[in-house]
Structure 1
Amino acid sequence: MLNDNLEQQLTTLYDYWFTQFDFPNENGKPYQSSGGKMVMNNCLKKKIPNGWNVESVYSNQLSSIIKPGVDKFDTKTYFATADIKGTSLSSGTLIDYENRENRANMQPNVNSVWFAKMKDSIKHLYLNEEMLPIISSSILSTGFCGLQCSDVSFEYMASYISNTYFETHKDMLAHGATQEAVNNDDLAGIHIVIPDDKTLQNYHRITQPIYSQISKNICENQELVKIRDWLLPMLMNGQATIAD
Structure 2
Amino acid sequence: MLNDNLEQQLMLLYDYWFIQFDFPDNNGNPYQISGGKMVWNDTLRRNIPENWKVQSVISNCLSSVIKPGVKIFNTKTYLATADVKGTSISTGTIVDYDGRESRANMQPSINSVWFAKMKNSIKHLYLNKEMQPIISSSILSTGFCGLQCNEISFEYIASYVSNAYFEIHKDMLAHGATQEAVNNDDLAGVHIIIPEDTVLCAYHETTQAIYAQISKNVCENQELVKLRDWLLPMLMNGQATIND
Structure 2 residue identity aligned to 1:227: L
Q: 1:11-90 maps to which residues of 2 (within 5 A)?
A: 11-90=11-90
**In structure 2, C-alpha distance between the alignment counterparts of 1:71 and 1:81, rounded to whole Å:** 20
User: What is the CA distance between 1:185 and its match in structure 2?
Assistant: 1.0
Structure 2 residue identity aligned to 1:232: L
Aligned to 2:242: 242
**In structure 2, C-alpha distance between the alignment counterparts of 1:241 and 1:46, rounded to whole Å:** 63
Asked whether 1:116 is paired with 2:116, we answer yes
Structure 2 residue identity aligned to 1:168: I
Q: Alignment identity in percent?
A: 76
Root mean square deviation, CA, Å: 0.4
**In structure 1, C-alpha distance between the alignment counterparts of 2:58 and 2:78, rounded to whole Å:** 26
**In structure 1, C-alpha distance between the alignment counterparts of 2:230 and 2:177, rounded to whole Å:** 41
**In structure 2, C-alpha distance between the alignment counterparts of 1:223 and 1:119, rounded to whole Å:** 30
**CA deviation profile, 1:167-196 (whole Å, cap 9, x unmatched):** 000000001110000001111100000000
Q: 1:1-244 maps to which residues of 2 (within 5 A)?
A: 1-244=1-244
**In structure 1, C-alpha distance between the alignment counterparts of 2:82 and 2:229, rounded to whole Å:** 19
Q: Secondary structure at the match of 2:188?
A: helix
**In structure 2, C-alpha distance between the alignment counterparts of 1:178 and 1:238, rounded to whole Å:** 46
**In structure 1, C-alpha distance between the alignment counterparts of 2:223 and 2:172, rounded to whole Å:** 37
What's the TM-score once normalised by structure 2's chain length?
Answer: 0.99
**CA deviation profile, 1:48-107 (whole Å, cap 9, x unmatched):** 000100000111000000000000000000010011000000110000000000000000
Q: Secondary structure at the match of 2:47?
A: strand
**In structure 1, C-alpha distance between the alignment counterparts of 2:91 and 2:40, rounded to whole Å:** 47
For structure 2, the 5+ residue unaligned runs are none
How many corresponding residue pairs?
244
Structure 2 residue identity aligned to 1:140: L
